[in-house]
Structure 1
Amino acid sequence: MSKVCEVCGKHPVAGRNVSHSHRVTNRVFRPNIQKITIKDKEGRVRKANVCTSCMKAGKVERA
């Protein structure tokens, strides 16, 4: 499954974990992407990879 939101373009971002003793390790912040059925701009029904924040904000019309 794609790790990019088709609505807002949100994608994984790299960062670092910093422990209490300040040991630093690399990590990845991944968006919560779900595959849902939507109606696109032309009115067609299709499946799309959308982040949950776009679903909650109502940026997509679900079919």
Structure 2
Amino acid sequence: MANVCEICGKGERSGFNVSHSNLKTKRTWKPNIQRVKALVKGETKRVNVCTRCMRSGKIQRAV
């Protein structure tokens, strides 16, 4: 499954783990993407959506 929200486009971010001695190693942060049934233009479709979009009501969940 792609780590991209189909509503807001939120995806993977990269950065560094920084130790106490200031050594840096690469790491990634992945968004909480879930595959849900949602109403899209009156039809029920499965979409990959981040939990922030679900919580803020940007999509209408299908039953």
Which runs of 5 or more structure 2 residues have no equivalent in the other structure?
A: none
TM-score normalised over the length of structure 2: 0.94
Separation in structure 1 between the aligned mates of residue 5 and residue 32 of structure 2, nearest angstrom? 9
Which structure 1 segments of 5+ residues have no match?
none
Q: Alpha carbon RMSD of aligned pairs, Å? A: 0.6
Structure 1: 4+ residue segments shifted above 2 A? none
Q: TM-score, normalised by structure 1?
A: 0.94
User: After superposition, where does 1:1-63 map in structure 2 within 5 Å?
Assistant: 1-40=1-40, 42-63=41-62
- What is the aligned-residue identity percentage? 48
**How many corresponding residue pairs?**
62
TM-fit CA distance, 1:35: 0.3
